[in-house]
Each structure stands twice: as C-alpha cells, then as structure tokens.
Amino acid sequence: MKATIKDVATRANVSVATVSRVVNNLDGYSDETKEKVLEAIKELGYQRNAIARGLVTKTTKTIGVLIPIVSAYLYAEILNGIEEKANENGYGIFLCNTGVNGVRAVNYIKMLGERQVDAIIVVSLTINDEYYNLLNSLKIPYILVSTLSYKYKIPYIKVDDQQAAYTATQFLIEKGHTKIALISGGKEDKISGITRVNGYRNALQDYDININENIIKYGDFTYNSGIMCMEDLLQEKEDFTAVFATSDEMALGALSVMHRNKIEVPEKISIIGYDNTLIAQMSNPPLTTVAQPLYEMGVKAFAKILSVLETGNSGDNMILSHKIVERETVKLLK
C-alpha cells in the first residue's frame, strides 16, 4: 500500500499540516523539523498526489498539445522539442491527435479543459471561430506552432511559408530549371497551402518565367497525395524538368512514382521538398529540401508558454529562419 501524508506525519511525529508545508516548500517550521519530514518521506517512499497538489497550487504541471497526425514526421520533430523542454521543467504532456482538418479538435479542447491543463500548444491547426471561443473559455494560455490566425490575435511560432516556397523555387531556377511543376497542399489552405503556392508563383514571375497551370497539382501534404499528384503530372504529358513538392512526404510519394516509371532522379527530373524531416535524409536518393527548424519550434513554443505561466508575458510572435539543405535530387542544368 502506498504511503500517505498521514503516514509521513506519524513517522516524523509532526502534524499533517506541517508535512504539507514542507512538501509544498512553504514557511512555518524549523530546519530540524524539515529534516525529520524529508527523512520520513524517504523511508516511506511517499509521493505527492498530483491532483491533490493541483487543488492547492492551482496548477497541474501539464500541457495539452493538439497535433493533426501524430505519426507524421513533421509533427514528431516539433513534439520532440516540446516534450524535452517540458520534461526538463517538470511538466507532463497530454498529446491529442485531432486528425486531418481537426475533426476531433473540439472534443479534445473540451477534454483538456476538464483535465485542467495549465496551457495548450496548438500545432498546424487552422483556428476557426469555434476553436477560438472554446480555447478562450478555458482561460489558460495557448500558442500556435506552424500555423497562425489572420482573424484573431493569437501568439504564434512559424516560418514565413511564402518566402520559404519562393526560396525553393528560386533554388531550382538558379540551377537552370525554367519548367518547374508544383505539388502543393490544400488549394483552400490559407496557412500553408495558398502561401506556398504564392511563393512559387512570385519566384517564377520575378524571373520572367511563364506559369503553366497544367503542372500545378493539389494534394494534402501526405505521401499518398504526392503519389496521386505525380501521376497526374505524368498524365498531362507536359514538359517539365523539376518538381517542387511543398512537403517532404509528398516529395517521397512523387519519388516513388518516378521510380516505378523508371524516371531517373535527378538525371531526368529534379525534385525539392519542404520541411527537412528525417525521411528527407532516408529517401533514395536523399532529398534536397527546404528546412524548417521543427525541433526549435517545439522548444521555443514551450519556452513561450512557460514565460506566460511564470510572468504573464508571451513576448512577440516568432518567424524562424529557413534554409535549403542540398542533397542529391536536384541537377544543375547547363
């Protein structure tokens, strides 16, 4: 049977109130009494009840994290950053898989409120009116990662998706490619879909390159959508020498189609991805990609949440830098 606070009080020959003051680091006891209580705790193996402690301290030392697809490499890197820093600071994580398009988001936000988490980190979820009102009703801090809200003033951490997509397209152009296909995320996705398409279009326009709408395909950032989009591109019979896929998973889907059709990469077609997840390094050939600092996003997200909890100040929104990681899937055209 687990030791109780009463057992500790009996062993140390003090009151339950005194034990409570010691374990919660409050004043009102001598050093000798403190040593007796701590020795009793050690001997009995007493552990404080987190729920009971929360009733006193008004904190549960837990953070809720809403993520669309737990298995996705993109979100795994962000989660690693959140989890490591949370653990270092004595916090636990409630991980909620909201599903594609946030189909379970409402239920999970309500559940996190019932669990009385101290704060919530929202990853890659588009904030609609219902989510916003629910989150605000909890009266706890929350922050957005790899997403933002144009309508509501909510603190966020992300990269500049439009500029990053411009950089990827510019990289291909400067390698000599002028016929560049695009495999994009959702056509109506205002956060990561439209912005990356705009970056692609802006780069082509700035270099006076014609935009061929027939070689722009839309998916949902997943591996399977990369397969479907690449198959559609090949069926179009249009001429292109390079592909910009706006996620690494879609890029790998496209690579699999090219391999199946015996299209050599990058000898026949070059491809660049977006994210720099682990699979970019593991692909064959290794994928050239735009790197988001995913782990750093998670680290900084928890740091901002901790700052709000401790000081009430979240600081400014953060736009983190991106860069091209060149591997083996882009050919220099002469």
- Summarised one tens digit per residue, pLDDT across range 8-27 is 888 889 888 888 788 777 77
Residue of higher predicted confidence among 47 and 267? 267
Dihedral of alpha carbons 47, 52, 55, 61, sign: positive
Mean pLDDT confidence for 156-172: 97
Task: Read off the pLDDT band of 48 (50, 70, 90).
Answer: low
Beta strand pairing call for 142-145 and 119-123:
parallel
Beta strands in 136-269, from DSSP E residues, in sequence order: 142-145, 156-159, 180-184, 216-218, 242-245
User: What pTM value is reported for the model?
Assistant: 0.81
Percentage of the chain modeled with pLDDT above 70: 94
Q: Output 90-95 pairs: Cβ under 8 A, ≥24 positions apart.
A: 90/61, 91/61, 91/62, 91/63, 91/118, 91/302, 92/61, 92/62, 92/63, 93/62, 93/63, 93/64, 93/65, 94/62, 94/63, 94/64, 94/65, 95/65, 95/67, 95/70
Distance of alpha carbon 121 from alpha carbon 99, whole angstroms: 16
**Domains of the chain, first to last:** 5-48 (1.10.260.40), 61-159+294-320 (3.40.50.2300), 161-292 (3.40.50.2300)
Contacts of 17 (CB under 8 A, 6+ apart): none
